[in-house]
Each structure stands twice: as C-alpha cells, then as structure tokens.
Structure 1
Amino acid sequence: MSTENRNELSLILESNPESIDFALSTLHMDVMFSTAADPEVSRLETWEAWTADMQMHHALFTVQTNQQGIDLELMVNHEIRRTRATGPKTSTNASNWTTAFFLAVICRDQKRYRELCEIPVDLLRASGERRGTRYNPFTYHWISALQAFVLNRPGLGEELLAAMELSTPDQVDFGDTESLDKLVFPPMNTFLRLVERDSDKFNEALAQGLALHGDYYTANAERSHTIMGAVPLSLLAMACLAYDTAEVAPDFRLEVESGYLPKHLVQRSWYGEFPVLEPDT
C-alpha cells in the first residue's frame, strides 16, 4: 500500500471518527502483506506501514476513551489529524487493545503503550461486551498483567498466573484446544520468563512459541494462505522487549533468530527515522 493509500484511510479520523475501526483491519493487513514481502523490514516503506498501523490503533483508543466532543490532534501517517473524541464504542475492546499494545511495543513507542496501560480493564470489558460479545476471562487477566508490568503496579505475578491457568483448554468457556495451546499460551509463557529474567528459559519459550505458531499456520492449506500468520505479533513484541532488556541487563540475552522475527524491528533499526508523535509530546 502506498503512502497515499494509507493517507486516504487515515482521513477517516477527521471525517468520521465514529467509524475509525473500519480502517484498522485494512492497515493491519497492509502490515502483514508488507512484512511478508520484506521479511526483515529492511525497507523504509515497510516501517511506514508498521507505524501507521500502530498510530491508528492507538488513535482509536484516544478517540474512544476521551470524553465525547473533546478536540484532539493525533499524528497518523506523517500528518497531524484533527478530530474529536467519541467516547467508548464496542471497538474499545480487549482484542483491539492487545493489538494496539503489541504494535506500540514493537515500534518502541513508550508513550503510546503507557497510555494504553492506563485504560481500565473494566472499561475494555464493559465496552467490548456491551452487545453480547464475550471474551474468555483469561483475556482480562493477561491485559492486567501487561499493564502491571509496564506501570510497575502490584499484582503482576497473580494476574499472569491467573491468565495462564485460565487459558488451559479445560478452564476456558469457549475456544479450541489447538489455538489455545499454540497461539494463546506461548506468549504468556514467554512473558513469564522475561519477567523472571531467565535467559535460557526465555529463549526456549520464545523458540517453542514460534515453532507452535508455524505449526498452527501450516497445518492445512486454508491456514497456510492466511496472511495473518505472517507475523506472530505478541511473540515479536516479547522479542523486542527482550532485545531492549538485554541492553541494560548484562545477564540477560536474546538468542533466538527466526523468519517470524523481522530483524530490523527487533533491533529497532528504523526507530527515530521520522517523527511518529505529535509535536511537544
């Protein structure tokens, strides 16, 4: 997708902020296709796709968690977009939150992911489930654990343990065993080892999670053609956190390399290439 195409999608922020969620899936698909064509994210255009996706996902929560009618200025795809807050909608949900959070971590936008972590889990639950949509309870414990980690809040261990226990096939209200075992549990286990600062167990958990992700998305022809399997977003975010941790913790190492972990995202090679935040923030 060209910068011009992304700009057209970004204009929805100004023209119709009530429908901002309609642009999210297209921008996210653009990231997946761009990265599949540029697996190491060695091209600036691919980094632009990642930042635009991250900016729009964060914009959704800024627009929908501020009081209705408040004027906002948000940078998306190189330009400041002037819009207004709408208040919470059904898209202010747990699924969009985790995507927005992992995108911000991967792009190393600390301001944005800290802001996301200030959003009450109860708001995500109430907004996302207001029309009958349901999430397994582990989802909210997982979000609470991530928020506690970023904001240094108490309860990290308890929330993460609850998320891991409640994500087992015999504890969930719905969901198939394969996706729980191969897609849901591995990021939590990898995160646990990161929190513990255990390099060996972290690298083992990350490698296993990537292998399980690959197994899941190559299990049959239909899945192998699903572009959403191109990047394991949560595991990539864990690798990015590990890379940054290794720079400040001499005893911690990130040793896993994989086609599922774009080199220049993990190593934040493009960070600072162009402004991604509004001025004076």
Structure 2
Amino acid sequence: MIKRYSSPKFEKIPLKRRLKRLNQAFEEISEDVEIRRDNLLAISKDMISLSRWLTWEVQKPSTERKSATGLRYASKMYAAFLKLAEHPEQDFTFKIFDLPAVTWSGLGMLEDGRAHPSQWLDAYFLAVITRDSESMDSLSSFPVEIMKQSATKAGPVSYKLVEVFQAFHHRQDNYPSLLNECMKMAVDQGDDWALGIAMGYLETFAALTTDIGFDFNETLAKNVQLQEKYWINASGPDTVPVESFLPLQLLGMACMWRDMGNAVTVESDSLPRFLIEGTYF
C-alpha cells in the first residue's frame, strides 16, 4: 500500500466543508449546464475536484457512485467543450445522458485560450477512466495545430505529449519514435514539470505499451509517489496539493493496463480500485 505524503488539515477545514460547494455543483448540473457554454468546462473541473476530495471519504458504494457519476458527466462535457474549439464557427447540440440538450458555437474560444494541452490531457484520460470511447475517439482527432492557435501557450513538451497519445490511439507506425522524441525533449527542457510530470507520464505509458523493459506496476507506483511530491512542492506550504489526490493520467494508464487483461497490483488511495475496475461504467 502506497501511503500518501500529503495530509490535509481537516481539523482546520473539515472535509464536509470542503465538499459542500462541490456537492452542490453535483446536485445542480442540470441547471448549470444550460446557463453558459463555459460551464461545460467549469462543471468538469468541479466534478474532478469532487472525486479528488472524495478519495478522503470512507469508500462506501454511495461515495464511489457519486465520484464515478461526476467523472462520467465530466468526460462528455470536456470532450464537447474541446469539440467546440475545433469547429468555432459551427453550432453543435449536445445531449449528455439525462441532462437538457444545449446548443453552442465555439466562437472566441481560441482567442480566450480555451484549447490548452493540459485540458486535452485531462479530458482524454478522463475518457479513458470512464471507458468513454466516443470521447476518446473525438479527442484523439483534435488537431494539435489548433491548440497552438490558442491564446494560452504551452511548452513544446506539452504539445508533443498530445501527439504521442494520439499516435498510440490511432496505432500509428511512428508512435515509438514520437515516444522517444518526447522523452528526449522532456530531458532537454529539464524543469521540474518536464522531469516530474511529463517524464512520469511517458515512462508509465512506455511500460504499458512497449517492451522497453519497464515493469508496469513498479513504474506506476514510482510515478504516483514522484508526482505527489511534485504537486506538494508546486502547491507550496499553505496550499493543499489537490491535483495529486487523483492523478488522471496515471490512473487512466492503470485502467488501460487492467482492461488489457493485466493485474494492477499497486494499492493507493490515489488509484481507487472501483475506477480501475470500471465498476460503475
């Protein structure tokens, strides 16, 4: 069992209080999804945060179901939001599960910086976790060149990561060379994010998809711990490292490993077993 390094001070801010707004957002999804286009993104982020904080709750079936349901909504909304950015001039109507149908265009999204690689990475692996193949297929075809037109810019490693995962999704012949190229780029970039986060994704994905010689479970366990340390350092002494509570990309890779018929032997509160098993999907 991998113990978490972080330990939120619930005696200062109780978990119930931290969950209050997020639980309210969960209850109000039907109303909020109709209000404005950008709520597709806002709701998705709230549902991810809800699931992250719920990892500190006693894992009862009701808790698991709420977490899984929130992520399921978020997966569809995230993919819909990025589809709007891909076709900004076009109106799209989305009917997401039991929610009201909504129609929007993507006008102004690129100018507002709404197509960032980090959003794509969250959206794609959220779809992996929830076994949402429709959203995975849509995101896998999102042009990286459109991301580069977004007002919010990222480093070259971020865009290359998207290319790597898209290449694997489409089983492109150049996937191994892209993987190696991205690893080299991360080393050359050399900052904490490139070495702690990007390289962790790449190492774990290499263990998942190639015969490079990495043991998947060992690599997963190592990078869950390294990435938690990264977020603790990046968050600073007075900020809770919420991103580490549910590492979407590493969790998604654990789901892929399991769905390929392999055993995920890593035990961690950051890798909920019900999500790895796809219990509610």
After TM superposition, the score normalised by the length of structure 1 is 0.79
Instruction: Give the distance between the partners of 2:60 and 2:228, measured in 1 at CA.
Output: 17
1:184 aligns with 2:198: yes
Which of 158, 175, 180 pairs up with 1:139?
Answer: 158
Q: Give 1:100 shift.
A: 0.4
Listed one character per residue, the Cα deviations across residues 93-123 of structure 1 (whole Å, up to 9, x for unaligned) are 2111111001000111111111100111111
1:270 aligns with 2:277: no
Which of 131, 141, 149 pairs up with 1:126?
Answer: 149
* Structure 1 ranges of 4+ moved more than 4 A: 1-4, 9-13, 38-42, 197-200, 217-221
Give the residue type in structure 1 aligned to 2:275: L
Instruction: Give the distance between the partners of 2:144 and 2:217, measured in 1 at CA.
Output: 30
Q: For 2:103, what is the secondary structure of its paired residue?
A: strand
63 and 142 in structure 1: CA distance in 2 versus 1, 3 angstrom threshold: same
Map of 2:82 onto structure 1: 61
212 and 68 in structure 1: CA distance in 2 versus 1, 3 angstrom threshold: same
Map of 1:165 onto structure 2: 184
1:234 aligns with 2:254: no
% of aligned pairs identical?
A: 21
19 and 106 in structure 1: CA distance in 2 versus 1, 3 angstrom threshold: closer
53 and 36 in structure 1: CA distance in 2 versus 1, 3 angstrom threshold: farther
After TM superposition, the score normalised by the length of structure 2 is 0.79
217 and 121 in structure 1: CA distance in 2 versus 1, 3 angstrom threshold: closer
Instruction: Give the distance between the partners of 1:39 and 1:224, measured in 2 at CA.
Output: 25
Of stretches 209-218 and 90-99 in structure 1, the one that deviates more from structure 2 is 209-218
52 and 3 in structure 1: CA distance in 2 versus 1, 3 angstrom threshold: farther
Asked whether the 8 Å contact 1:138–1:162 carries over to 2, the reply is: no
Which of 217, 222, 228 pairs up with 1:208?
Answer: 222
How large is the Cα RMSD of the aligned pairs? 2.8
Instruction: Give the distance between the partners of 1:2 and 1:214, measured in 2 at CA.
Output: 22
Instruction: Give the distance between the partners of 1:2 and 1:143, measured in 2 at CA.
Output: 29
Q: Give 1:161 shift.
A: 1.2
Give the residue type in structure 2 aligned to 1:54: S
Q: Which runs of 5 or more structure 2 residues have no equivalent in the other structure?
A: 1-20
227 and 156 in structure 1: CA distance in 2 versus 1, 3 angstrom threshold: same
Q: For 1:108, what is the secondary structure of its paired residue?
A: coil
48 and 137 in structure 1: CA distance in 2 versus 1, 3 angstrom threshold: same
Asked whether the 8 Å contact 1:187–1:234 carries over to 2, the reply is: yes
Asked whether the 8 Å contact 2:94–2:103 carries over to 1, the reply is: yes
Instruction: Give the distance between the partners of 1:12 and 1:228, measured in 2 at CA.
Output: 24
Of stretches 4-13 and 54-63 in structure 1, the one that deviates more from structure 2 is 4-13
Asked whether the 8 Å contact 1:94–1:124 carries over to 2, the reply is: yes
